[in-house]
């Protein structure tokens, strides 16, 4: 098969949604395989590996993102139902919730405010554009919600998605190290902090380290989703509106 | 399994409708999460098919972030222009939020009953 044949075949295949969907699952499987091969080293994050592989493939073949997304949207769509499904792990923490409800709500509001206020303040000091600021503000909540919030306050949802994922990876890789340095040893507090600041990616990491940390992380992530969705649009319009 | 997935979608759909209808700043799936949570509290014992469906959706939660993450290819110009504030904000503020929240919660949460909730001294470093 000559080069033009391959090019033509790719042009044909790239218009099929099946291709984008298949590439997504294959790239993630490669990422997950590497992650397990390296004894679950957080640096080998399957999401990062998958994104890098697909981005390179799109670049090499000159395929526009929109064409890729026609297939990938079937995976992307599941973010909505998965967000609803977070109610189940949250419900499993109902007893903990009831026992320490005021403290937990206070902790979630505190973490949510520190995460978004310090992000916006620091990026503003370093000269970020207003769209970048609005895209960064909800970076500590899970992607679908963060994208919705960013859209609401005038950010760029695609940039938000990138920042949210990068936040999760920073939290999952460096978070435990920094907490060790600070001498923080309570698994519940450590998991809680990971969930508030680094959403699903932080929670996945917390579950791998310790069951209690994972449960508290899931609880904090779920409540933070609600807290941030309620506070950021309100505060944003109040400060900048 | 189908019924459980349908129930999850119904919660999301109701959430989207409420978000749109009342012009709420909260995204539809979050309202759906709230509706499902309230439903679980009322029902008390969630059916196993529902918890299985939810767990299956969440096992590979991180896979679902890949398509949006590949969107980085459309943002390269903006990332080039604002790379310093973005990188600094991502690293500094994420770690600040983690350490300050962990510190606050370790002070506020009632003392753990069992020792498995804290790290034994030998593992802590």
Q: What is the pLDDT along chain A (241 residues), one digit of tens a residue?
A: 566 777 777 777 777 789 999 999 999 999 999 988 998 776 787 888 999 999 999 999 999 999 999 999 999 999 889 889 988 888 888 887 788 889 999 999 999 999 999 999 999 999 999 999 999 999 999 887 898 888 888 898 888 988 998 999 899 989 999 999 999 999 999 999 999 999 888 887 887 788 788 888 888 988 898 899 888 988 888 887 6
Q: What are phi and psi of A16, to 5 degrees?
A: -90, 130
pTM, to two decimals: 0.80
Residue A206 tokens read as: 């917390």
Which residues numbered 53-72 in A keep a CB inside 8 Å of some CB on B?
54-55, 58-59, 65, 68-69, 72
Which residues numbered 68-107 in A keep a CB inside 8 Å of some CB on B?
68-69, 72-73, 75-76, 78-91, 94, 99-100, 103, 106-107
Reported ipTM:
0.83
Which residues numbered 211-230 in A keep a CB inside 8 Å of some CB on B?
212, 222, 225-226, 229-230
Residues A207 and A214 sit within 8 Å (Cβ to Cβ): yes
Residues A107 and B105 sit within 8 Å (Cβ to Cβ): yes
Instruction: Find the closest chain B residue to A99 by CA distance.
Output: B110
- Of B26, B27, B97, nearest to A140 by CB-CB distance is B97
Which residues numbered 1-20 in A keep a CB inside 8 Å of some CB on B?
none
Which chain B residues have a beta carbon less than 8 Å from that of A50? 63, 66, 69
CB atoms within 10 A of CB B87: 15
DSSP helix/strand/coil, B60 = coil
Kindly state the DSSP code that residue A38 receives in the 8-state scheme.
T
């Amino acid at each position: 098969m000559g080069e033009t044949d391959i090019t033509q075949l790719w042009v044909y295949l790239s218009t099929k949604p099946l291709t984008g969907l298949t590439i997504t699952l294959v790239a993630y499987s490669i990422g997950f395989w590497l992650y397990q091969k390296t004894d679950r080293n957080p640096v080998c994050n399957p999401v990062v590996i998958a994104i890098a592989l697909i981005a390179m493939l799109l670049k090499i073949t000159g395929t526009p993102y929109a064409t890729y997304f026609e297939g990938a949207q079937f995976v992307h769509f599941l973010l909505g139902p998965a967000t609803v499904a977070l109610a189940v792990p949250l419900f499993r923490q109902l007893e903990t919730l009831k026992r320490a409800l005021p403290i937990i709500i206070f902790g979630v509001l505190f973490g949510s405010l520190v995460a978004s206020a310090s992000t916006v303040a620091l990026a503003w000091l370093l000269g970020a554009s207003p769209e970048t600021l609005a895209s960064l503000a909800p970076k500590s909540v899970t992607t679908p919600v963060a994208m919705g919030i960013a859209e609401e306050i005038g950010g760029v949802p695609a940039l938000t998605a990138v920042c949210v994922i990068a936040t999760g990876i920073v939290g999952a890789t460096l978070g435990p190290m920094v907490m060790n340095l600070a001498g923080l040893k309570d698994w519940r507090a450590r998991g809680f902090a990971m969930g508030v600041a680094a959403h699903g990616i932080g929670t996945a990491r917390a579950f791998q380290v310790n069951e209690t940390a994972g449960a508290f992380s899931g609880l904090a992530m779920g409540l933070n989703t609600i807290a941030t969705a309620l506070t950021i649009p309100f505060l944003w319009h109040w400060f900048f509106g | 399994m189908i019924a459980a997935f349908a129930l999850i979608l119904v919660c999301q759909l109701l959430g989207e409708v409420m978000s749109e209808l009342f012009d709420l700043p909260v995204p539809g799936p979050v309202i759906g999460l709230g509706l499902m949570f309230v439903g679980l509290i009322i029902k008390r014992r969630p059916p196993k098919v529902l918890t299985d469906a939810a767990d299956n959706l969440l096992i590979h939660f991180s896979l679902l972030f890949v398509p949006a993450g590949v969107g980085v290819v459309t943002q390269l110009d903006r990332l080039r222009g604002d790379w310093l504030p973005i990188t600094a904000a991502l690293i500094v503020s994420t770690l600040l939020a983690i350490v300050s929240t962990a510190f606050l919660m370790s002070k506020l949460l009632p003392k753990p009953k069992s020792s498995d909730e804290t790290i034994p001294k030998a593992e802590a470093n």
